[in-house]
Amino acid sequence: ITLQEYDYARESPSKLAASCLLLALTMKDLGGWTPTLEYYSGYSVQDLHPLVKRLNFLLTYQPRDKLNTVRSKYSHRVFFEVAKLAPMDMLKLEKTLTSC
């Protein structure tokens, strides 16, 4: 989704990937940002916090009439139906990120 959003072009690819991973871990309740992830990525939760919130906002308010083919593709079992996941509530996300 971020590939078509100009605002995300200025973000470093590694920070964007780390933020996406943190958001996915949080959305699926698979644990938080571990010291190992912090060490190998070079980013702390505090570094990623603003970008994770922006990504969740993008998921929440994306236009549904665009990217139907991509949404259909990632709604398939092969891709674990990730396009069907509901975005996190912003307050719950904030609470989870600040508790890490």
Write down the domain spans for the chain: 1-97
User: Given this model, what pLDDT does residue 48 score?
Assistant: 97
At 14, the pLDDT band (50, 70, 90 cuts) reads: very high
**CATH class name, domain 1-97:** mainly alpha
Highest-pLDDT range among 13-22, 28-37, 70-79: 13-22
Compute CA distances 26 → 44, 53, 57, 71, 90, whole Å: 15, 11, 14, 21, 12
User: Given this model, what pLDDT does residue 42 score?
Assistant: 97
Q: Could you tell me the pTM of the whole model?
A: 0.83
User: Do 32 and 60 meet the contact criterion of CB atoms below 8 Å apart?
Assistant: no
User: Do 41 and 14 meet the contact criterion of CB atoms below 8 Å apart?
Assistant: yes
Q: Which residues contact 42 (CB under 8 A, 6 or more apart)?
A: 14
